[in-house]
Amino acid sequence: MIDWGEKLKKMGILWQHDCNPATPHALWTSGRHADTFNNGSKLVENPNIMVQVAEGLIDKMKNDLSINKPDWIVGPAFGAVTIAYEIAKQLEIKFAFTEPVQIGANKEQVLRRFDIKEGEKVLVVEDAISTGDSILKTIKTLEDKGVSVLPFVASIVNWSESNKLGKRKINSLFSASIKSWTKNECELCKMGSKVFRPKANWSKFKKIT
């Protein structure tokens, strides 16, 4: 049995602060400071590991999939494209993605390039769920088209502190809670830890062992 948390951390896909003030913490694109970061690109650049990740998620969903077999796997671009594709490949079913499009003041997940028919069954897959914003928008887009979205979803990582996304069960390989703060409230800054953008400063975040 693979310890996915350990494996993903070793690969630099997942990172969590170790409460040591000498360890820097993460500045998210939103401007918030956080004790957690995930870098899905580190997984995407290793297709052979992605194959194992997809196998792991399919294994987690074994019972759910025996009851509800999807016709399609759909993931929100860009983060979930490769994992959704690989799961679809292994299940020998179809794959599609939704893509982020600015509509008025909101960014929506739009299905542009694929013809999923009304009533077809879709399993929605994500690389990481925190607020669930992208995956919920994908589900809404599909339901608005009359597509049947299965009562469970899959995500490589679940940061949401819940095993449910609305009424749907979340299947994940690794789950944990995230702490994040505004610049002024950041507990890690108060502790003396420095803050960096993780992708641009990855060498600073690597654990010294």
User: Could you list the residues that contact Zn ion (CB under 5 A)?
Assistant: 33, 186, 188-189, 195
Choose between 110 and 195: whose C-beta lies nearer to Zn ion: 195
If the CB atoms of residues 11 and 189 are measured against Zn ion, the closer one turns out to be 189
Q: How far is the CB of 193 from Zn ion (least distance, A)?
A: 7
3-state secondary structure of 60: helix
Q: In angstroms, what is the minimal distance from the CB of 158 to Zn ion? A: 24
Please say which residue, 17 or 137, places its beta carbon nearer to Zn ion: 17
When computed from its CA atoms, the radius of gyration of the chain, rounded to whole angstroms, is 18
Task: Please say which residue, 93 or 195, places its beta carbon nearer to Zn ion.
Answer: 195
State in angstroms the smallest separation of the CB of 18 from Zn ion.
15
Query: Minimal distance in Å, beta carbon 188 to Zn ion?
Result: 5
- Contact between 26 and 196 under an 8 Å Cβ cutoff? The reply is yes
Q: Which helix (H) or strand (E) holds 63?
A: helix 62-67
Q: Please name the helix (run of DSSP H) or strand (run of DSSP E) that holds residue 75, with its range, or none.
A: strand 72-76
Q: Beta-carbon neighbour count of residue 55 at 10 Å?
A: 14
Q: Quick one: CA torsion of 164, 168, 170, 175, rounded to 10 degrees?
A: -20
Rounded to a whole number of angstroms, the minimum distance from the CB of residue 199 to Zn ion is 17
Name the residue whose CB lies closest to Zn ion. Answer: 186
Backbone angles phi, psi at 155, to 5 degrees: -145, 140
Q: Which residues pair with 152 in a beta bridge?
A: 169
129 or 188: CB nearest Zn ion: 188
